[in-house]
């Protein structure tokens, strides 16, 4: 190994969230290193994680991945929140929090995500920006390791996995919740399953084996991968199976799970009115809502809203150019930024636009989009009041009150529940005497709000009349 090569070292000020000692690049000489600069709220960063895991397994005896987390939102500066995101994504390599962008600046990074590949001497050989680079990374890592082996400059010892795991609890990072007058359906996302429970927390059925996968079957014989939003139409429970880039459905009368739409692989093309539901690639579907035989999809990976016409069995884009932006207007103008939650009203569809920290409406008549609250991609905050003054931080879920006049918001990165008056009254924060940890799901039914308190691994019930809150004892 050439110990004389001078390359940037990782700054001393980084906060390592899942290892006891700082990682030194010099100590990794003899291995190929991939530096992954990411933000946990960034969809493209999330999509890189399975690719990196694939490479880590394939080249376990010569590759080391080091992730440097650079915050997109203020809440992401907290190392404890970063550790939660690391555990949620099952990351087992060293991760540092870089709240002041020190390493970002040293390595000349200017976009999320960025991958910097270092050879076995520690020299940067190539940089990749964005997602979807597995087909180029794989041969590059292989060639670098083969070259090092030929020069007797390769270390074959595997790097010890890094981990500060969560406590084992009945739920693991529940992403969403759907409520009826008597039942709850919980997307137990970290366990890759959907569970059906009573309002008092008694588990009735499980759909999904608990292991990540993409296959149909009955009950626990099926498999999901990071399931999220749900919608019920008649006797069918539809599920946004985000990790599989698919829409699944559960026949509630017998527990059979099958795939309605999606190939299991990420799709990058915009589609309009395609009858080939199973052959259409989806891109990180995150939430669902149903209205008038239409199943609307928050397609977070493509910054669009899609729909499946359940009667005609066609799928396609409803609105959103695909640009990552906050832009109002018609079909060919309007843009979203990681739409993550949807709710259907009588005349409009409502969207939680997470990266824009905004709540949008889509007029069902002509798909015209307007912003109800929020100001732009880098205008997050925590301010109530009249619509033009409201600031949110990464809202990911919404629920329409049964009366149709209030839109409840899971203001995820602020750790709050907020109410938006659809009659022009602005936004107010619900006073909750309970700590919320990045709540990712919300539902309204039975005079209550049901909240997936995601990072606390629990579901809460809030009585909308009295304000009383209690934890639903699922699996206790």
Task: Look at residue 6 and tell me whether its pLDDT is greater than 80.
Answer: no
pTM: 0.96
Residues 414-451 as b or e (16 or more Cβ within 10 Å = b): bbbbbbbebeeebbeebebeeebbbbbbbbbbbebbbb
- Quote the radius of gyration of the chain (alpha carbons, Å): 22
By mean pLDDT, which of 83-87, 185-189, 267-271 is the weakest? 267-271
Please determine, for residue 4, whether its predicted confidence score (pLDDT) is greater than 70. no
User: What does 364-410 look like in DSSP terms, one character per residue?
Assistant: TTT--EEEEE---TT----B-BSGGG-B-S---EEEE-TTSSEEEEE
Give the pLDDT score at 8: 87
Convert the pLDDT of each residue in 400-426 to its tens digit: 999 999 999 999 999 999 999 999 889
Token pair belonging to 275: 């009858």
Element (H, E) at 115: strand 114-118
* Predicted confidence band of residue 3 (pLDDT cuts 50, 70, 90): very low
Q: What is the pLDDT of residues 127-169, one digit of tens each?
A: 999 999 999 999 999 999 999 999 999 999 888 899 899 999 9
């Amino acid at each position: 190994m050439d110990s004389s090569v001078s390359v940037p070292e990782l700054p001393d000020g980084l906060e390592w969230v899942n290892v006891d000692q700082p990682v030194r690049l010099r100590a990794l000489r003899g291995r190929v290193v991939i530096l992954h600069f990411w933000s946990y709220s960034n969809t493209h960063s999330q999509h890189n994680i399975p690719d990196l895991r694939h490479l880590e397994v394939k080249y376990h005896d010569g590759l080391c991945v080091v992730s440097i987390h650079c915050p997109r939102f203020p809440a992401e500066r907290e190392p404890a929140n970063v550790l939660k995101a690391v555990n949620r994504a099952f990351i087992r390599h060293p991760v540092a929090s870089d709240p002041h962008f020190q390493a970002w600046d040293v390595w000349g990074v200017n976009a999320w995500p960025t991958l910097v590949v270092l050879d076995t001497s520690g020299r940067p050989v190539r940089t990749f920006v964005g997602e979807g680079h597995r087909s180029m990374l794989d041969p590059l890592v292989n060639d670098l390791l083969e070259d090092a082996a030929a020069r007797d400059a390769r270390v074959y010892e595997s790097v010890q996995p890094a981990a500060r795991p969560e406590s084992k609890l009945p739920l693991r990072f529940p992403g969403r919740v759907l409520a009826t007058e008597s039942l709850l359906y919980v997307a137990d996302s970290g366990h890759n399953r959907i569970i059906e429970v009573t309002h008092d927390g008694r588990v009735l059925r499980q759909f999904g084996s608990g292991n990540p996968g993409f296959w149909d079957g009955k009950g626990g014989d099926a498999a999901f991968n990071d399931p999220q939003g749900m919608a019920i139409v008649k006797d069918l429970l539809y599920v946004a199976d985000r990790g599989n880039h698919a829409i699944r459905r559960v026949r509630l009368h017998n527990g059979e799970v099958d795939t309605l739409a999606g190939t299991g692989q990420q799709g990058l093309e915009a589609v309009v009115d395609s009858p080939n539901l199973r052959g259409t690639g989806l891109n990180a579907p995150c939430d669902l809502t149903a209205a008038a035989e239409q199943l609307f999809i928050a397609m977070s990976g493509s910054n669009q809203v899609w729909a499946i016409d359940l009667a005609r069995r066609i799928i396609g884009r409803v609105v959103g150019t695909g640009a990552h932006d906050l832009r109002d207007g018609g079909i060919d103008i309007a843009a979203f930024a990681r739409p993550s939650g949807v709710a259907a009203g009588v005349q409009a569809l409502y969207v939680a636009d997470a990266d824009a920290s905004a709540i949008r409406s889509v007029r069902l008549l002509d798909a015209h989009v307007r912003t109800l609250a929020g100001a732009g991609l880098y205008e997050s905050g925590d301010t109530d009041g009249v619509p033009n003054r409201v600031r949110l931080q990464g809202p990911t879920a919404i629920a329409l009150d049964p009366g149709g006049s209030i839109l409840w918001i899971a203001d995820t990165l602020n750790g709050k529940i907020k109410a938006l008056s659809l009659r022009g009254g602005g936004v107010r924060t619900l006073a909750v005497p309970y700590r919320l940890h990045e709540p990712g799901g919300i539902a309204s039914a039975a005079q209550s709000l049901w909240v997936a308190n995601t990072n606390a691994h629990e579901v809460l019930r809030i009585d909308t009349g009295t304000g009383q809150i209690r934890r639903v004892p699922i699996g206790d």
